[in-house]
Copies of this chain bind each other. A is one copy, B any other.
Amino acid sequence: MSLRVICLMPRFNVTGLTAARSMSTKVDSKNIGFIGLGNMGGPMASNLMKRGHKLHVFDVSKSASDKMKALGAKVYDKTTDLAGNSEFVVTMLPNNDIVWNTYEEMTASGVNKDTIFIDSSTIDPNVAKQVQKLVKSKGARFVDAPVSGGVPGAENATLTFMVGGTEDEYNCVKGVLEGMGKRITHCGGYGMGQAAKLCNNMLLGISMIGVSEAMNLAMRLGLDPKTFSDIVNSSTGRCWSSEVYNPVPGVTPGAPANKNYAGGFSTDLITKDLGLASGVATASNTPIPMGAMAHQMYRTLKSHGYGSKDFSIVYEFLKNEKNN
């Protein structure tokens, strides 16, 4: 009850949004802070503006901020000022340390208690929990809401958000996140959005190597790749990596394999996610033999210069090419 009240009672005067409101009558325009305007954050912030929200932005890169300014966002030098003018603050940052430092600095001199902070970075669930405690200690609310869907998802507002927080907080942030994605999932309490993302991506990283090995072996034994993938996809080996994102060129239309492994989900990113998964597995003393092996394989791929390529390039890496 009280939650609904909080969510519907804007404490801020939203100005200059008349036009946007009339364009998009369904959306209740909000003042939204956005910190981190990179390949993901840039299009996400942009989509929020298209949706009718007023954006307050910060980035260490001036050019990234300038782009948003050109689209109508207000640019800030200090995150404390940004947070002071925002009902919601979305952070989209590269790693644990930067997330923690950003929140420490932003909340150091206190925060508006009605502001809800949403971290969409991919970080250690335990760091997410610590950030929540920090924000709560200042009197405000925080949820973790990492995404999947990559740059295309960010650009087309088709991301999946995995939210960790209370049911009430989930309901509160859902509307805002819908401006950037099409699936907003409630995963559980604080940190559980991060946990869900890491565990899912660990499985993804394993499956992709599994599909790569199976396709490669099948082809070396004489099977046609299309025939074999059809068999797998209607059988017990079926998985997203074989059906939607097959690593063998020519098998799945639209997959990065058909574009020389450009775009997609980079080896750098899956390695980062598996590194985080590995860290939480160590901390929780959970055996992940396959996850650890997948981590090492992608890390080896990075060593060999494939960091920026789509992670399905592991197929190319395994394929026998240079001798018998």
Contact in complex: B303, A296 (CB < 8 Å): no
Q: Which of A167-175, A254-262, A271-279 contacts B (4 or more CB under 8 A)?
A: A271-279
Contact in complex: A227, B292 (CB < 8 Å): no
Segment 268-324 of A: residues with Cβ below 8 Å from B: 271, 275, 277-282, 284-297, 299-300, 302-305, 307, 317-324
A116 CB-CB contact with B under 8 Å: no
Within the complex, the shortest CB–CB distance from A207 to chain B, in Å, comes to: 6
Give chain A's interface residue range (CB within 8 Å of chain B).
Answer: 35 or more
Contact in complex: B187, A227 (CB < 8 Å): yes
Contact in complex: A191, B295 (CB < 8 Å): no
- Alpha-carbon distance between A15 and B238 when the two chains are bound, in angstroms: 44
- List the number of copies, as a whole number: 4
Within the complex, the shortest CB–CB distance from A168 to chain B, in Å, comes to: 17
Contact in complex: B207, A239 (CB < 8 Å): yes
B residues near A89, Cβ cutoff 8 Å: none
A221 CB-CB contact with B under 8 Å: yes
> Could you list which residues of chain A lie within 8 angstroms of chain B, going by C-beta atoms?
125, 148, 160, 162, 183, 185, 187-189, 191-192, 195-196, 198-204, 206-207, 209-211, 213-218, 220-224, 227-228, 231-232, 234-242, 245, 271, 275, 277-282, 284-297, 299-300, 302-305, 307, 317-324
Could you pull out 10 A-B pairs where Cβ atoms are within 8 angstroms?
A189-B222, A192-B223, A199-B214, A199-B215, A200-B214, A206-B290, A220-B286, A238-B240, A282-B295, A302-B320
